[in-house]
Structure 1
Amino acid sequence: MKKILSIYNQQKEVISYLFWGVMTTVVNILIFALFHWLTNWNYLINNSIAWLISVLFAYVTNRIYVFHSYSDSRKAMFKEIISFLIGRGASYFIEQAILIVGISGLKWHEITVKIIANVVVVIINYFWSKWAVFKKKGTES
């Protein structure tokens, strides 16, 4: 049990990010699937709506539960939000490209491609969040 607790304490941030990343992915895929089943909209529109809602969810959970970020000022918080949105915006375009290739190009099932795209995006977003958005104070280059 001590060994498990030791590993948990050493990897707490990664474990927390994976948990909240999975939760964000579930939110993203569920919203995408709901719009897929309930509307006749293009999958890229459905993805955009799902992306927006899941990014808001991800920012709050990453800030509070993963990286424990607390801003001293509005300016610092604004900078953090903008950096987060820039990173997520970049991964949004990567996700859209994966969807276009997988769904329109390869003719794979929309939900399957969405899940694959989310795995790629979660990995990219972790490193962006860790190194660019929620840096520990005093680690800026």
Structure 2
Amino acid sequence: MTTIKVLWQKHKTTIAYLFFGGVTTIINLVTFDIMATYWQWNYQIATVIAWVITVLAAYLTNKVWVFGSHYTTIVAFIKELTSFFFFRGVTLIMELGIMYIGVSLLHGNLLLIKVIDNVIVIAANYLFSKWYIFKKVD
């Protein structure tokens, strides 16, 4: 049991990120699929709306359970929130580009391209969160 505890302590941020990343990915894919497939909305519009919903869920889960961010002032909160949305905006641009190339140019399957897109975006979001947004201040 101590081996599991040691592994958890060493990798808890990554494990929590993968778990909650999975949850937010499901939110993103389901929201996107409903809008793009069932409601027949333009895939770029569905991507942006799914992004907004997902980013709100991701901020809360990343802040509380993944990175355990505890700001002490309103200024720190605003800086963290702004930074989170800025870097998620960067990956939204990546996402829109991937979707455009995969769907409009290559005529790929909408949901398959969205899944591939999510894998790339999740990796980028993790790096931005770990290195810039929720970094530990010593």
Q: How does 1:43-82 map to 2 (within 5 A)?
A: 43-82=43-82
Q: How does 1:18-29 map to 2 (within 5 A)?
A: 18-29=18-29
Q: Which moved more, 1:31-40 or 1:49-58?
A: 31-40
Please name the residue that 2:129 is paired with: 129
Q: Which moved more, 1:35-44 or 1:94-103?
A: 35-44
* Separation in structure 1 between the aligned mates of residue 122 and residue 40 of structure 2, nearest angstrom: 27
Output the amino acid matched with 1:51: W
Q: Deviations over 1:79-105 (max 9, x none)?
A: 000000110000000010000010111
Q: Deviations over 1:34-66 (max 9, x none)?
A: 102332221000000000000000000000000
Output the amino acid matched with 2:84: F
TM superposition score normalised by structure 1: 0.94
* Separation in structure 2 between the aligned mates of residue 99 and residue 27 of structure 1, nearest angstrom: 17
* Separation in structure 2 between the aligned mates of residue 134 and residue 107 of structure 1, nearest angstrom: 37
Please name the residue that 2:15 is paired with: 15
Please name the residue that 2:112 is paired with: 112
* Separation in structure 1 between the aligned mates of residue 19 and residue 39 of structure 2, nearest angstrom: 30
* Separation in structure 1 between the aligned mates of residue 78 and residue 101 of structure 2, nearest angstrom: 34
Unaligned runs of 5+ in 1: none
Unaligned runs of 5+ in 2: none
* Separation in structure 2 between the aligned mates of residue 4 and residue 76 of structure 1, nearest angstrom: 34
TM superposition score normalised by structure 2: 0.96
* Separation in structure 1 between the aligned mates of residue 114 and residue 108 of structure 2, nearest angstrom: 10
Root mean square deviation of aligned Cα: 0.9
Q: Percent identity of the aligned residues?
A: 39
Moved runs in structure 1, 4+ residues, more than 3 A? none
Alpha-carbon offset, residue 9 of structure 1 = 1.6
